[in-house]
Amino acid sequence: MSDWKMVIGLEVHSELATNTKLFCSCRNKFGGEPNTNCCPVCTGMPGALPVLNKKAIEYAIKMGLAVGCTINNYSVFERKNYFYPDLSKAYQISQLEYPLCVGGGLEIEVEGKKKFINLDRIHVEEDAGKLIHDNTGTMIDYNRGGVPLIEIVSKPDISSAEEAVAYLEKLRETLLYVEVSDCKMQEGSIRFDVNLSLHKEGEPLGTRTEMKNLNSFRAVSRAIKYEAKRQAEVLNSGGKVIQETRRWDDEAGKTYSMRTKEDSQDYRYFPDPDLVPIETSDEYIDSIRKTLPKLPQERIIEYQKLGLTEQDAKLITTERKNADYFEAVVSLFNEPKFVCNWICSEIFKKLNSSEEIDTDIQVSAENLAKLLKLYKNNTINQAVARQLFDEMWKSDFDPEVAVNERGLAQMNDTTDLEKILQKIIEDNPKATAELKAGNQKTMAFFIGQTMKATAGKANPKLVGELLQKLIN
């Protein structure tokens, strides 16, 4: 295996999060009773005609711009003709000769090594329906038929399973950032095809096989490792790799031959005469460019300039909603590192412990900024800050108001605190003796007692200082 080099190209199908389907006004929604989000267009009835969804084009362009593609001013939908029960018209409307987006790419990092993966193209096409099998037959549900997809095709620049996963993670992150797809793998809204071949350094490329419809990063990684090993074994034993489509069986952890190139389909692509070419002006493309959010790579650099470590900057930018939230809080309370620490600890803890997959941050940026300000300037101590935050997460409120109304401000008055400490020292001679003897562990006991006596409002730092003064 060792001297074989993997050459991998990935095709990623991602459903676009539009309201309606690509060519009709039926709802674009996962699941539902079979054939209830359907009409004559998406079930291929005689006489029905497709009408292109503007939003789908906008979303595809948006993604194209986010990964540095050139957007073609002239783009054409073509028919890919083949018979299969999930394809109601017996052709899929897709793009071949004139795709919407070409070129571009994105940078990945594997074990500290950066690498740029080039894209070949991004094109728009419609999804097929869903087949459900039981022991009597195959049932066809066209609810998914006609849902808009983009197919993102990479150049064969990927050379390991790790790179493939890094590339896919980056792509997913970008899709979520520009908000064109929900990327829910469990619902199949993002799916992967892998093309893989082996060759030796300096030698021409080998014959490739294709594995279709993988639906998790793990499956991609395992399929690549398995298939590379299989091809290497074939080649090492003097055999030849056959150009074919292979099915990945996730349970068995193996690939199986599906069809070879000889009986591969002749798709007879030609421009769909029911649709007109899509002409997009530079002005239109620019207007979409203006709606692009700042992307992670840009934010990571920016955040580091604000004083965050690279690791923290990466962590906070993995999801756009967190990064946007971070920026919103910082704009109100300019202590980036302090804000970042709170988000990465307190907020991520809440998000991760939530049972729902897509929990939103429950505290407004304004209120968190106020809370952190109160904490940072010693108006409240950490315990109170955490307690308030807990309450705010359940039902958001203005912490300034709460601190005032409930008198939660820290006791920073030394005379008052001294009196309280004096009493605690008198009541606890044993502990005082230990503290005097230098047992710092008892400090915690005293702080605890002070908090109890002040309803948690004492400034712990101040308590420590006063205590040292009093016992000496």
Partner 1 sequence: MDYLKCSLYEIRQMLENNEISSVELTKLCLDRINSTQNLNAIISTCEEQAIDAAKKCDQARKKGEKLGPLAGIPVVIKDNINLVGTKTTCASKFLENWISPFNATCAQKLIDAGAVIIGKANMDEFAMGSSTENSAFGVCRNPVNEDYVPGGSSGGSAATVASFQSFASLGTDTGGSIREPASFCGVVGLKPTYGRVSRFGVVAFASSLDQVGCFTRTVRDSAIMLNVLAGEDKKDMTSAKILVPDYEKSITGSVKGKKIGIAKQFFSDALNNEVRANIEKAIKLYEDNGAEIVDIDLPSLDTALAVYYIISSAEAASNLARFDGVKYGVRAKNFSDTVDLYFKSRTQGFGKEVKRRIMLGNYVLSSGYFDAFYRKAKKVQKIIRQEFETAFEKCDVIICPTTATVAFKLGEKCDDHLAMYLNDIYTVPVNIAGLPAISIPCGKVSNGLPVGMQLIAPHFKEETLFNFGDFYEKHAKEI
Partner 2 sequence: MAKINIEEARKLAKLSRLEFSEDELKNFVAEFDKTLEQVATIEKVDVSKVSLIENTLKSDIELRSDIVEPSFTQKEILANAPEQKDGAFVVPITVE
Among 278, 295, 380, 458, binds partner 2 (CB under 8 A): 278
Q: Which is nearer to partner 2, 139 or 205 (CB)?
A: 139
Judged on CB neighbours under 10 Å (0-12, 13-18, 19+), 437 is exposed
Among 1, 31, 49, 54, binds partner 2 (CB under 8 A): 54
Could you say which of partner 1, partner 2, none residue 239 binds, taking C-beta under 5 to 8 angstroms by partner kind?
Answer: none
Per CB under 8 A, which region of 88-96, 332-340, 384-392, 417-425 contacts partner 1?
A: 88-96
Restricted to residues 140-179, the positions that interact with partner 1 (CB under 8 A) are 140
414 alpha carbon, distance to own chain's centre? 50
CA nearest 228: which of 203, 195, 250, 261?
A: 195
In the complex, least distance from residue 88 CB atom to partner 1, rounded to whole angstroms: 6
- 284 touching partner 2, by CB under 8 A: yes
Restricted to residues 207-266, the positions that interact with partner 2 (CB under 8 A) are 247, 258, 266
CA-to-CA separations, 14 to 112, 182, 297, 304, 453, in angstroms, rounded: 28, 9, 22, 32, 59
Among 51, 205, 242, 401, binds partner 2 (CB under 8 A): 51
Chain position carrying tokens 């190139």: 261
Could you say which of partner 2, partner 1, none residue 264 binds, taking C-beta under 5 to 8 angstroms by partner kind?
Answer: none
Number of residues that bind partner 2 (CB under 8 A): 50
The order of strands in the sheet holding 91-94 is 91-94, 78-81, 270-271
Q: Which is nearer to partner 2, 127 or 141 (CB)?
A: 141
In the complex, least distance from residue 247 CB atom to partner 2, rounded to whole angstroms: 8
Among 4, 142, 248, 389, binds partner 2 (CB under 8 A): 142
In the complex, least distance from residue 132 CB atom to partner 2, rounded to whole angstroms: 7
Could you say which of partner 1, partner 2, none residue 445 binds, taking C-beta under 5 to 8 angstroms by partner kind?
Answer: none
- 116 touching partner 2, by CB under 8 A: no
> 300 in helix, strand or coil?
helix
Spatial distance between the Cα atoms of 69 and 101, rounded to a whole number of angstroms: 6
- 136 touching partner 1, by CB under 8 A: no
Among 5, 17, 30, 48, binds partner 1 (CB under 8 A): 48
Please give the structure tokens belonging to residue 275: 């649709």
- String marking each residue 83-112 x if it binds partner 2 according to CB under 8 A: xxx------------x--------------
CA-to-CA separations, 127 to 13, 42, 144, 191, 212, in angstroms, rounded: 9, 10, 6, 11, 14
| Alpha-carbon dihedral angle through residues 291, 293, 298, 300, given to the nearest 10 degrees | 170
- 91 touching partner 1, by CB under 8 A: yes
Contact 209, 196 (CB under 8 A): yes
Among 15, 141, 163, 327, binds partner 2 (CB under 8 A): 141
Among 49, 132, 433, 444, binds partner 1 (CB under 8 A): 49
Could you say which of partner 1, partner 2, none residue 279 binds, taking C-beta under 5 to 8 angstroms by partner kind?
Answer: partner 2
In the complex, least distance from residue 84 CB atom to partner 2, rounded to whole angstroms: 8
Among 187, 279, 390, 465, binds partner 2 (CB under 8 A): 279
Give start and end residues of each alpha helix (H) in 257-397.
282-289, 296-305, 310-317, 320-332, 336-342, 348-353, 365-376, 382-394
- 316 touching partner 2, by CB under 8 A: no
CA-to-CA separations, 299 to 59, 118, 172, 465, in angstroms, rounded: 22, 22, 17, 41
Spatial distance between the Cα atoms of 369 and 333, rounded to a whole number of angstroms: 6
- 259 touching partner 1, by CB under 8 A: no
CA nearest 99: which of 239, 278, 235, 328?
A: 278
What is the biggest distance separating any 2 CA atoms in the chain, rounded to whole angstroms?
A: 96
Q: Which residues bind partner 1 (CB under 8 A)?
A: 40, 43-52, 79, 81, 83, 85, 88-91, 138, 140, 266, 268-270, 273-276
